[in-house]
Chains A and B, each alone.
Chain A
Amino acid sequence: MSALPRRIIKETQRLMQEPVPGISAVPDESNARYFHVIVTGPEDSPFEGGLFKLELFLPEDYPMSAPKVRFITKIYHPNIDRLGRICLDILKDKWSPALQIRTVLLSIQALLSAPNPDDPLANDVAELWKVNEAEAIRNAKEWTRKYAMDN
């Protein structure tokens, strides 16, 4: 494997030295492009109190192409499907090389605060979110309690 680009080293250093509140990202011991991420559920969201595990991988041509991010913890969210894939514009066509791991994870945290059922990935969840938001939020809380609260 080729040497780690300076950009990745810098970003990793900064993530370790000045971590973003509510987000921890630790590079894997054997692969510096692979990060173990934990995002805490934002306050005043149905995911509050949960600790959500994610994996983040920086592809070969990062930062020219977007990092690959996936939820490992199950989550009830209209823009995240059951495999943990995330529907987020900056991970797709709106990616810019000027964005960073930090900004991506912040965006994901923001997505937890503001689900967007009009652009769904998990259709059943989005449907319920639109038809009966109260019940959807109840489900989300239930899932958070069930999957994201035990260690």
Chain B
Amino acid sequence: MDDSTMTENSDEMEYQEDEEEDEDDNDYYYNYDNYADSGGDHHNDGNDQNSGGADFETLQGVECLNVEQAKNLLNEHVDLLSSKLHISPSLAKLFLHLNEWNVNAIVQAYLKHTNAFLVENRVKPPSTSASAMDSLPLPTPSSSTSSPHSSSSKTSVCSVCTLSLPLANDIDMRRKLHISPSLAKLFLHLNEWNVNAIVQAYSKHTNAFLVENRVKPPSTSASAIDTLPIPTPSSSTSSPHSSSSKTSNYIGLLSCGHPFCKNCWAKHFEVQINQGITLDISCMASQCNILASETLILTLLRPALHDKYESFSFRDFVSTHPHLRFCPGPNCAMVMKARESKPKRATCTSCHTSFCFQCGAKCSQRNLAQLEAEIENLSWKIERAETTDRGDLENQMDIAEKRRITLLKDFHLTAPGKEGRGSAELSLYLNSISCSGDWKQHGSEYYECSRYKENPNIGRESAHAQAREALKKYLHYYERWENHAKSLKLESAMLEKIRTRIHSKVMTSSGTWIDWQYLIDASTLLARCRYTLQYTYPYAYYMEPSLSHSRKELFEYQQAQLEAEIENLSWKIERAETTDRGDLENQMDIAEKRRITLLKDFHLTAPGKEGKGSAELSLVS
């Protein structure tokens, strides 16, 4: 929506998109926006973090990346980790994906407890102490047949397709020594293809054998070289996966050693990928959760599906990366990057969608539906509470409250930012109107509908009456908050309408384009006022009862005034048919003054006093 976010973060931004966007009539709109912002700043006492339109805090340091840039960014992580730990990139990817892309934590965990880390990340089977690991060599070959499927592998039949698995000479040796095929080839070549001699020599003096065959330098502990076998599994920093997956055709492709043939693996991967599973593809054996590495999958998968795999896994990678979010805008392929994940606004430079960075598109409708259901339950129970048996009712109250808190957490009501999706979802559910009465009947002097009148005798009422009261109070504020959120959303549709109206007016030569700009100006102001008003309701809800009576009254009075002026303004904007702007501008001025007064009185003077309330309000301004 607004250009200012872009300019604010200009130092970190790739400008290639901007050139495409700033075209045609958009130009005017953006220019206008900048103008409005500078105007708005005066009103906001120099609080220049805010920009026009709906004003909530903008997340600093947001970058907008296209798919290629995002992929490069992910690859940087992968390269860093794989070079730090000397593991294959595909394994590094897997670790990053499973550990929220926290390179340092992975390096630490890996170096401290390599074995435990590998088991935890489902790269290695837990119990067998790595004896079945494919590319990791074993101290003694005798324990090497402990793979759960060893019996079937002896008969060498793939248990999926029932075809026999050919056991070539080198595969035989590989199974005995659990080394990578390339290494096996090397050993065979250097030792006249005498499998038995190799196995004996290897298992007796692994180190000496490796040195002799020029696989390992004589002195060092060999900790840093990829695909190098190391006698003790715990000290191994070599990749458990990478080497085995490149060329081997049959049996134990994964560290668990479950034997299946290549075609079955390929088919398995295909079916899983078609179901949208990429990084979570595990071994085919029943109850074996060892993960298949990317290298293995891409080696076996038919090329037609490679793109699909790449795009699915990219999607999964982004979703697990704490600092990346897909832009929730329709048909927008951009990825947003921020230094920190906070419930603040991020704006896509490509489609101009603003959204809360922390939740991205993740806010669940389910929470809302559940809250809805519990509220229904609660009100039903309150209505029918005939006895003093309060256990059931209190239980229900508890459930409803928990659901409410979950919802608030998800929607970050304390830190608004999701004008798009959140409110859209909300408005799907509750379609009530803040006050269904006629505006004219309210008069302009004292508008009371925004205020919740508490029953002064509440303390003496019974438990269920109190519960009813609490629910009523909550619903009162919630509905109003929600309605304004909904109106705010409609506002953007309205802006569109206004622009077409202006266009048609200009075409029929009633006024010039410049003459009509005040309308856009007005509707931006309207959106800003509405936004402020919307968050006065959570503020009012959380307002402490201990707050002095007169303060509260003042707040409610100002809130009511603002509400009334906003409605007037809205009415006038909708019906503006001439270029005679005096009346409207007057109204705009009034509304903005009301807004500033409210914020001045309750935002700037009382921060920190009210916990939640002030946090919300501080985001309003």
Contacts and interface: CB of A to CB of B under 8 A. Distances in A.
B161 A98 contact: no
A90 B286 contact: yes
B260 to A, nearest CB: 8
Nearest to B258: A98
B284 A96 contact: yes
Given A6-B162, A6-B163, A7-B160, A99 B271 contact: no
Interface string B143-160: 000000000000000011
Contacts of A64: 267-268, 270-271
A63 B263 CA distance: 12
A61 B288 CA distance: 21
A98 B163 contact: no
B286 A63 contact: no
Contacts of A11: 162
Nearest to A5: B161
Contacts of B159: 98
A94 B267 contact: no
Most buried by A among B260, B271, B286, B288: B286
B287 A96 contact: yes
A96 B286 contact: yes
A97 B260 CA distance: 10
A77 B294 CA distance: 42
Interface residues of A, number: 16
A6 B161 contact: yes
Interface string A1-35: 00001110011000000000000000000000000
A61 B284 contact: no
A96 B288 CA distance: 9
B590 interface: no
A65 interface: yes
B264 interface: yes
Most buried by A among B162, B260, B271: B162
A108 to B, nearest CB: 15
Given A6-B161, A7-B162, A98 B271 contact: no
A63 B258 CA distance: 16
A94 B287 contact: yes
Interface in B160-219: 160-163
A98 B162 contact: no
Contacts of A65: 271
Interface in A85-111: 90, 94, 96-99, 103
A61 B160 CA distance: 12
Contacts of A97: 160, 260, 264, 268, 284
B285 interface: yes
Interface in B258-290: 258, 260, 264, 267-268, 270-271, 284-288
Nearest to B264: A97
A96 B286 CA distance: 5
Interface string A50-80: 0000000000010111000000000000000
Contacts of B258: 98
B225 to A, nearest CB: 35
A88 to B, nearest CB: 13
A94 B289 CA distance: 10
Given A6-B163, A7-B161, A98-B258, 11 more contacts: A6-B161, A6-B162, A11-B162, A64-B271, A65-B271, A90-B286, A94-B286, A96-B285, A97-B268, A97-B284, A98-B160
22 contacts: A6-B162, A7-B160, A7-B161, A7-B162, A10-B162, A11-B162, A61-B267, A61-B271, A63-B160, A64-B267, A64-B271, A65-B271, A94-B286, A94-B287, A96-B284, A96-B285, A96-B287, A96-B288, A97-B260, A98-B159, A98-B260, A98-B285
The 7 closest A-B pairs by CB, nearest first: A96-B286, A64-B271, A10-B162, A97-B284, A97-B160, A98-B285, A98-B159
